Amino acid sequence: MKNKILSDKNKSMYIYNVTINIDSDIQQEWLHWMQTEHIPEMLATGKFSAAKMVRVLAEEMGGVTYAVQYTTDSKATLDRYYKEDADILRSKSQKFEGKFVAFRTELQVISEH
């Protein structure tokens, strides 16, 4: 595969990464909700082109840790997500309140190999 260096601002991609540590006792219910409801709703906003969910293998906090990486085309699109969709979609996780901790980061793709 050819290396792609994404130095042109118009060609940059961004990843909205959400890392979540979830209590083991509700992990299966939460995982089902994420896969069947939350991730599809995130993609349905039209602001993300793909989502990848991974399990973090190092368990230092207790519970189970996952990361979800949502790919978007620009910082402007990500900012529109924050303004238009984030509060509504985050509020839907209230049934798991007190059972998880989420850490969100924005990543800019520099190159793909």
CATH code of the domain in which 39 resides: 3.30.70.100
In a domain, 46, yes or no: yes
Residue 9 confidence (pLDDT): 47
Give pLDDT tens digits along the chain (113 positions). 455 555 444 467 999 999 999 999 999 999 999 999 999 999 999 999 999 999 999 766 688 999 999 999 999 999 999 999 999 999 999 999 999 999 999 999 998 88
Secondary structure element (H or E) that encloses residue 29, with its range: helix 27-33
Residue 5 confidence (pLDDT): 52
**Which range marks the domain in which residue 35 is found?**
10-112
In a domain, 40, yes or no: yes
In a domain, 1, yes or no: no
Q: How many CA atoms lie within 13 A of 61 on its CB side?
A: 16
In a domain, 2, yes or no: no
In a domain, 88, yes or no: yes
In a domain, 82, yes or no: yes
Residue 54 confidence (pLDDT): 97
Q: What is the number of domains present in the chain?
A: 1
